[in-house]
Amino acid sequence: MIIKYFVVGALALIIVSGCSDDSSSNTAVSPKVDQSASTEADVRKTKTETTTIEIGKDYHSFGNPESIKVKHLNLDLTVDFTKKILLGTAQLDFQKIDPKAKQLVLDTRDLTINGVSANGKPLDFTVAKADSFLGAALTIDVPADVNDVVISYQTSPEASGVQWLTPEQTAGKEHPFLFTQAQAIHARSFIPLQDSPQVRMTYDATIRTPKDLIAVMSASNDPDTERDGIYEFSMPQPIPSYLIALAVGDLYFKSMGERTGVYSEKGILDAAAAEFSDTESMLIATEKAFGPYSWDRYDLLILPPSFPFGGMENPRLSFITPTVIAGDKSLVSLIAHELAHSWSGNTVTNATWRDLWLNEGFTTYLTYRIMQMIYGDERFEMEAVLGRQDLQADVDSLAASDQIMAIDLRGRDPDVVFSNIPYEKGALFLRELEHKVGRENFDKFLLGYFEKFAFQSITTEQFVSYLEQTLLKDHSTKLSKQRIQQWVFEPGIPDEAPVPESDAFSVVDQARNAWLTGAIQASEIDSEKWVVHQWLYFLNNMPDKLSQEQLANLDKAFSLTNSKNNEIAHSWLLISVNNWYQPAFKRLHQYLTSIGRNKLVKPLYKALSQTPEGKLMAQKAFNEAKEAYHPLTVKANEGFVE
Ligand code: BES
Ligand code: ZN
């Protein structure tokens, strides 16, 4: 299906033309046209905006799966910590969709291709000139009788999807550590492949490491494996490339239940297993509500603090930031989230990065549901309100075009376009559907959806069409096509969207107001029973400007500068930067130089960059921390310290 944009000033009408089984027409506000295009991406963007958007086309891959589709990957890699490279071979088995196809096109970024062969005979190949964020196409000439190729290659020490940590940058300080982060388009920086979420493949891998270290992957892992430096993996279910993951380190395993366990460095293993001890119950509850878990085991890998995300849903083995080990399970919705991706994301996958909301919106919706099943209504309500506030902040600050769930990402780096829209707007949309048709009916719909599209990668339009043929048909008096179109293809939040509310937050509002008006001192706030979410709500809804006296008053009463909870500390440090509260700055420096999770550090760098004095502090912290930051965290924040 083809959509045409007719740019009329800043507005465009999207008209659906062409036809397929998922025909649906829609109008939407177009991306703003930047007349002063200067960067490579800007030029590309202005070029693409006046042309057609092809639904289902992956604008972020050079791969040619429509002619030749990779089906299986066999990796054999040696991990060289001295040179900071992965070196070895990737064998790709493929299917010729077009029997006459003569070339296999793959994605690469900063890879050195040492040779390509088939049946032991060398094949011709070319590596194109690299694009700044898509990398370089690798085109291999494939003879008629060839259905698999072996590529000998090595990665660059700067590979965007790999972080190499020195022993000093780990908890144990004795051994180096390595981990990969492939989503969205970084798998190509450590494996030459068709790096598109619509290409699913099974994989096998042999990973060769220094003898005392252990390798784990998003595949079958053996917790009792001998530490002999050779590790074998297999992923028998077809997965998209962004879910291929590897970590190597001085790892240990602790079981948390029949199907769940945790891997981490020794020092934090017990704390992690205690913090995440509800993982097994979450797994059981989710299966009961939304259908069978398709991935055998569900383990967690706790990474060093430089991990740039909160979590990553690598199948069978979610990668998790240690910053959520709070000691009181207050931040475990992250685990619910990564687990939920086993259904929405890993089983039913977005076909392109424009469709990311199908992964993240469904997952965020499921996360709330899991939290409600495991921890009850109060926790669920508080988290829903906080999520709604995060969404509002983005709606208030993002360009209209970036508030559209099915976002136009043509010519843009997906790393740069990261917001709450696919997450919280997606979840709110699904919650509205749930409220309109009733939970029981909606759960049936979800169950059917996960079953129908299992192990497929689908577009927004396929989902909308499925929704129209199922739920909309059955509940035509309660749902409308137009309303669905509005949610998915228009910016903002539709009027009369569900409004999450929490009684536990009303008392916080009262306390904050009483304190702000001077009716009570901070020390008089009855906060003894407050949970982390209430503290976050208390802080996140403070007025922009507070006096030094007010800040000192709060800090004295609640020791906020010394909060051990990384989310509370984040909220407090942000307030401190915005109000130049210097007593918190030592902690701020320590925070920025010990955590690399982008969601926690980026807003702080951004706030600091607003003033010359702040920028100096940001530069000092960034320069000190840069070595240990992940390439993604460096990329996201270097602009603030220039
Ligand atoms: N899959 C995402 C992380 C991601 C998204 C990486 C897009 C690259 C591109 C992961 O499941 C996620 O959403 N992580 C969040 C968790 C949070 C919403 C609970 C994070 O890291 O903050
Ligand atoms: Zn997610």
The CATH number of the domain where 469 resides is what?
A: 1.10.390.10
Measured between alpha carbons, how far is residue 324 from residues 279, 372, 556 in Å? Answer: 14, 19, 25
Residue 510 covered by a domain: yes
Ligand nearest 310 Cα, by number? 1
Report mean pLDDT in 10-residue bins for the chain, 642 residues.
Answer: 36 33 35 40 54 94 98 98 98 98 98 98 98 98 98 98 96 96 98 98 98 97 95 98 98 98 98 98 98 97 97 98 98 99 98 98 98 98 98 98 97 95 98 98 98 98 98 98 98 98 98 97 97 98 98 98 98 98 98 97 98 98 97 97 96
Distance 425 CA to ligand 1 centre (A): 15
Q: Best of 179, 306, 312 to mutate for ligand 1, by most ligand atoms within 8 A of CB?
A: 312
Distance 11 CA to ligand 1 centre (A): 31
Distance 336 CA to ligand 2 centre (A): 10
The CA distance from 62 to 58, in Å, is 8
Name the closest-CA residue to atom 21, ligand 1. 310
Specify the ligand 1 atom closest to the Cα of 310.
Answer: 21
CB 61 within 8 A of CB 190: no
Q: Tell me: do 312 and 448 sit in the same domain.
A: no
Q: Tell me: do 410 and 465 sit in the same domain.
A: yes
**What CATH number does the domain containing 515 carry?**
1.25.40.320
Distance 558 CA to ligand 1 centre (A): 31
Specify the ligand 1 atom closest to the Cα of 423.
Answer: 18
CB 228 within 8 A of CB 211: yes
Name the closest-CA residue to atom 20, ligand 1. 310
Residue 498 covered by a domain: no
Residue 543 covered by a domain: yes
Q: Residue 613 has what pLDDT?
A: 98
Residue 625 covered by a domain: yes
The CA distance from 116 to 125, in Å, is 7
Distance 74 CA to ligand 2 centre (A): 27
CB 104 within 8 A of CB 142: yes
**Who lines ligand 1 at CB under 6 A?**
183-184, 309-313, 334, 337-338, 341, 360, 423, 599
Number of domains in the chain: 4
Residue 2 covered by a domain: no
Specify the ligand 1 atom closest to the Cα of 360.
Answer: 13
Tell me the pairing of strands 317-320 and 311-312: antiparallel
Q: Tell me: do 145 and 215 sit in the same domain.
A: yes
Q: Tell me: do 228 and 145 sit in the same domain.
A: yes
Structural domain that includes position 331: 252-341
CB 407 within 8 A of CB 354: yes
Choose one of 341, 376, 398: the last residue of a domain.
Answer: 341
Q: Which residue, chain included where needed, has tokens 């370089």?
A: 136
Q: Which residue, chain included where needed, has tokens 């990402």?
A: 409
Question: How big, in percent rounded to 5, are the helix, strand and coil portions of the chain?
Answer: 40, 20, 40
Q: Best of 160, 318, 332, 337 to mutate for ligand 1, by most ligand atoms within 8 A of CB?
A: 337
Q: Tell me: do 156 and 111 sit in the same domain.
A: yes
Q: Residue 52 has what pLDDT?
A: 86
Long-range pairs of 165-168 with CB within 8 A, sequence gap ≥ 24: 165/304, 165/306, 165/628
Q: Best of 160, 179, 195, 309 to mutate for ligand 1, by most ligand atoms within 8 A of CB?
A: 309
Name the closest-CA residue to atom 14, ligand 1. 311
CB 573 within 8 A of CB 591: yes
Name the closest-CA residue to atom 11, ligand 1. 312
Q: Tell me: do 457 and 601 sit in the same domain.
A: no
To the query of whether residue 338 is one of the catalytic residues in this protein, the response is yes
Tokens found for residue 538: 């208390």
Distance 366 CA to ligand 2 centre (A): 11
**What CATH number does the domain containing 279 carry?**
3.30.2010.30
CB 6 within 8 A of CB 13: yes
Indicate the burial class of 324 (C-beta count within 10 angstroms; 0-12, 13-18, 19 or more). buried
Residue 578 covered by a domain: yes
Angle between helix axes 279-290 and 439-452 (nearest 10 degrees) is 90
Name the closest-CA residue to atom 8, ligand 1. 183
Candidate list 375, 423, 466, 591, residue with the active-site label: 423
Peptide bond between residue 184 and the one before it cis (omega within 30 degrees of 0): yes
CB 460 within 8 A of CB 429: no
Write out 499-557 in H/E/C secondary structure.
CCCCHHHHHHHHHHHHHHCCCCCHHHCCCCCCCHHHHHHHHHCCCCCCCHHHHHHHHHH
Choose one of 442, 464, 489: the last residue of a domain.
Answer: 489
Choose one of 341, 370, 397: the last residue of a domain.
Answer: 341
Q: Tell me: do 238 and 280 sit in the same domain.
A: no
The CA distance from 447 to 429, in Å, is 17
Q: Tell me: do 360 and 325 sit in the same domain.
A: no
Q: What angle do CA 484, 488, 494 make, to 5 degrees?
A: 70
Ligand nearest 309 Cα, by number? 1
To the query of whether residue 423 is one of the catalytic residues in this protein, the response is yes
Q: Tell me: do 174 and 114 sit in the same domain.
A: yes
- Give which of 146, 165, 133 is closest to 250, Cα–Cα: 165
The CA distance from 569 to 251, in Å, is 28
Name the closest-CA residue to atom 6, ligand 1. 183
Q: Residue 532 has what pLDDT?
A: 98
CB atoms within 10 A of CB 50: 13
The CA distance from 504 to 439, in Å, is 24
Concatenating the DSSP letter of every residue in 25-53 gives ----PPPPP-TT--SHHHHHHHHHHTSEE
Residue 13 covered by a domain: no
Write out 288-324 in H/E/C secondary structure.
HHHCCCCCCCEEEEECCCCCCCCEECCCCEEEECHHH
Distance 230 CA to ligand 2 centre (A): 31
Q: What is the DSSP letter of 130?
A: P
Specify the ligand 1 atom closest to the Cα of 599.
Answer: 22
Q: Tell me: do 309 and 375 sit in the same domain.
A: no
Q: Residue 58 has what pLDDT?
A: 98
The pTM of the full predicted model, rounded to 2 decimals, is 0.93
Q: Tell me: do 40 and 80 sit in the same domain.
A: yes
Candidate list 49, 338, 383, 567, residue with the active-site label: 338
Indicate the burial class of 584 (C-beta count within 10 angstroms; 0-12, 13-18, 19 or more). buried
Q: Best of 332, 356, 360, 366 to mutate for ligand 1, by most ligand atoms within 8 A of CB?
A: 360
Residue 9 covered by a domain: no
Name the closest-CA residue to atom 22, ligand 1. 310
Q: Tell me: do 286 and 372 sit in the same domain.
A: no
Specify the ligand 1 atom closest to the Cα of 345.
Answer: 1
Distance 566 CA to ligand 2 centre (A): 19
**Helices within 188-346 (DSSP H only):** 266-275, 279-290, 333-340
